[in-house]
Amino acid sequence: MGTVIPLSDASRQTRSFPVATLLIIVVNALVFVRELIGGNAFVAQWAAIPATIFTAHGVVTIFTAMFMHGGWLHIIGNMVFLWAFGPQMEDTMGHGRYVVFYLVGGVVAMLAQVAGSPGSTVPTLGASGAIAAVMGAFIVTYPRDRIKSVLWIFIFVQITMIPAALLIGIWFLIQLFNAGAVANVQTGGVAYLAHVGGFLFGAMTARLWRRGPVGS
């Protein structure tokens, strides 16, 4: 079994410190600590439950759920991906626009997941939909950039450079392939529809959020 863990954009340096990306990571971490303290009751109150949302209750959870996670691996994995792609998009959009883009992308992603399984009573939570929006924006903005990544196959570990178009493109195809199968399950799992919805939002609107010309 193997995996690829993106670390950073090796092709360019940001012009300013990614304070907004770091702030988003800190907020996610603080909310996760609150989850650990509050337990299942906290999750049930603030995670997005499609069946409840479709009865016009708990609509605010479409927003709050994007800052919640199901466990240590869930939040660590999401924050690693955010740190790999977020700083460059923050630099391209500007701090304020980037934050708004991230939040709107997260809401769109949650709505996609809810729309795909309107009768589900399984809580939906996680920042991956918003991060998928960041990745969607990244692939159309810097497709030729090389992403410094950890390639891990069994006991073999190596740092390698992977073109953004290849890394993100394969990731999206995996989400798209699995989206249909997950749309109707009631037992939880990866929110593939949120990933697809967030990614498409990011890819289609990336140019609207840029603050100026983008370097090649």
Query: Is a pLDDT exceeding 80 seen at residue 172?
Result: yes
* Neighbour count for residue 25 (Cβ, 10 Å): 19
The residue among 186 and 130 whose pLDDT is bigger is 130
- Domains along the chain? 2-209 (1.20.1540.10)
Contact in structure between 73 and 105 (CB atoms under 8 Å): no
Query: Is a pLDDT exceeding 90 seen at residue 139?
Result: yes
Angle at the Cα of 168 (from 141 to 93), degrees rounded to 5? 30
> What's residue 180's pLDDT?
62
Question: Model pTM?
Answer: 0.91
Contact in structure between 147 and 9 (CB atoms under 8 Å): yes
Highest mean pLDDT among 2-6, 49-53, 166-170, 191-195 belongs to 166-170
**DSSP structure string for 3-71:** EEEEEEESS---SS--HHHHHHHHHHHHHHHHHHHHHHHHHHHHSB-HHHHTTT-STTHHHHGGG--SS
Radius of gyration over every alpha carbon of the chain, rounded to an integer in angstroms: 17
> What's residue 178's pLDDT?
82
What is the pLDDT of the chain when averaged over all its residues?
A: 90
Measured over the CA atoms of residue 73, residue 65, residue 193 and residue 50, the dihedral's sign is positive
Name the residue type at position 42. Answer: F
> What's residue 126's pLDDT?
93
- 137-166 mean pLDDT: 93
What pLDDT, in 10s, does the model give residues 50-84? 888 877 678 999 999 999 999 999 999 999 999 99
